[in-house]
Amino acid sequence: MKIYTQIGDDGTVTAFSTCSTADVQVEAQVTGPLYPEKLSGYKLEADNTGVNHLVFDEDQYKAHLKQEQEAAAIAAAETKLAEVSREALLTGVDDETALSMAPLYPEWEPGTEYKTGQRLRFGDGGFVKVLQDHKSQADWLPDATPSLYSVI
């Protein structure tokens, strides 16, 4: 079967098609089944007559999967770093500075575990600091429970 391929800058197959297009022009022969979901594992190999053959390379495919997994792990770690950095910054400032950044803090919600020192938005512009660890309750509103919250 004749197929047309697109070759990336690194020499790997980046697309294939049964017809030639502006982007997919390199002609190749295929002798077995094609697995589009494993595109990153294909490469072109020329035989001794100069005919290109589209060949699946399991090692190349596994290396590509490993790269994708590493990139995903790095992205997840960077997201976590941003979250931790944000939390450290919001926790580490004094109350006056925190008040100027109040929209960045979470809204108070009933049924939520809160830790001492956490700051929360409440109601229409209210801002409080948690005085002791507890699980919030609908009948323990921040502006009416001075043993649990301090209004900033």
Q: What is the DSSP string of 53-117?
A: EEEE-HHHHHHHHHHHHHHHHHHHHHHHHHHHHHHHHHHHS-HHHHHHTGGGSPBP-TT-EE-TT
Check residue 118 and give its pLDDT: 96
What does the domain layout of the chain look like in residue ranges? 2-56, 59-92, 95-151
**Domain 95-151 CATH (choose: 3.40.50.300, 2.10.10.20, 3.40.50.2000, 3.90.650.10):** 2.10.10.20
Alpha carbon 80 to chain centroid, angstroms: 10
Check residue 93 and give its pLDDT: 96
Check residue 20 and give its pLDDT: 86
Check residue 84 and give its pLDDT: 96
**pLDDT by residue, tens only, the chain of 152 residues:** 888 988 888 878 889 888 888 888 889 998 888 888 999 999 888 899 989 999 999 999 999 999 999 999 999 999 999 999 999 999 999 999 999 999 999 999 999 999 999 999 998 899 999 999 999 999 999 999 999 999 99
Check residue 150 and give its pLDDT: 96
Note the pTM of the prediction, 2 decimals.
0.62
